[in-house]
Amino acid sequence: DQQVKQNSPSLSVQEGRISILNCDYTNSMFDYFLWYKKYPAEGPTFLISISSIKDKNEDGRFTVFLNKSAKHLSLHIVPSQPGDSAVYFCAASAPYNFNKFYFGSGTKLNVKP
Amino acid sequence: GAVVSQHPSWVICKSGTSVKIECRSLDFQATTMFWYRQFPKKSLMLMATSNEGSKATYEQGVEKDKFLINHASLTLSTLTVTSAHPEDSSFYICSARPSSGASYEQYFGPGTRLTVT
């Protein structure tokens, strides 16, 4: 039973526009969320995270929004660049258990020049 | 910095044989390493957590006698798939947490594609 879901397997966006990647989770006990970015033939790399005590965290062009009542988080990339083309995974962890992260299945973002 | 390598990157083996996958943290020490498995178009599923010098902690449903994990040093963990079957064919990916890092930190290797014929 997948507790973290990314329902869009792919997303295509024009360069310069906003990319919005979505993630839903089912376990209300999750209290820390992360986004990873993965290029082909490489491992996922950490992008940005957010604690459940916040509803927004921003780092440069990347912003993560958390809606706890809806059990939904999103990653906004603005402006999108061709180098952002990659697979993006969201992940969640339960309290006091950073040894176990639940991952979504990923969304492949294609930013067109 | 924070580079994790895996070897081999892909391997084909026959049913019934065993195959070992290595995970190395190249520029940091990692007390804790993780092994994941990913099926096509599915999420990364944690198989086990290995701690240097102690036994691995396996997730529910993962056979510890089939997936042997050894974390003998602060920079190396190995996963051995014993008596491999075609259903073990998958993408295996490891990650390593720096001993001095934040609790949520983990750096991933590029993964190993295992095909059992």
Tell me what the pLDDT averaged over chain B comes to.
Answer: 93
Rounded to an integer, the average pLDDT of B11-32 is 95
User: Chain A closest CA to B9's CA: distance in Å?
Assistant: 9
Over residues A78-91, the pLDDT tens digits come to 999 999 999 999 99
CB pairs under 8 A between A and B: 49
- Distance in angstroms (rounded) separating the CA atoms of residues A93 and A108: 22
Whole-number percent of chain A with pLDDT over 90: 89
Over residues A35-68, the pLDDT tens digits come to 999 999 899 999 999 999 999 999 999 999 999 9
Q: Is A39 on the interface with B (CB under 8 A)?
A: no
The SS3 call for residue B86 is helix
Rounded to an integer, the average pLDDT of B61-85 is 94
Query: Does the distance separating the beta carbons of A41 and B108 come in below 8 Å?
Result: no
Residue A94 has pLDDT above 90, yes or no: no
Q: Which residues of A touch B103 (CB under 8 A)?
A: 98
Q: A3: nearest CA in chain B?
A: B43
The residue whose two tokens read 């459940």 is A52
Rounded to an integer, the average pLDDT of A90-94 is 93
Distances (CA, A) of B65 to A49, B18, B68, B80, B108: 35, 12, 6, 10, 24
For residue B87, the model assigns a pLDDT of 94
| Burial (Cβ within 10 Å: 0-12, 13-18, ≥19) of residue B68 | middle
One-letter-per-residue 3-state SS of B37-73: EECCCCCEEEEEEEECCCCCEECCCCCCCCEEEEEEE
Over residues B30-44, the pLDDT tens digits come to 989 999 999 888 889
Query: Does the distance separating the beta carbons of A100 and B41 come in below 8 Å?
Result: no
Q: Is A66 on the interface with B (CB under 8 A)?
A: no
For residue B56, the model assigns a pLDDT of 93
Mutate to test the interface with A, among B42, B106, B107 (most CBs of A within 10 A): B106
The DSSP call for residue B26 is S
Residue A1 has pLDDT above 70, yes or no: no
Query: Does the distance separating the beta carbons of A45 and B110 come in below 8 Å?
Result: no
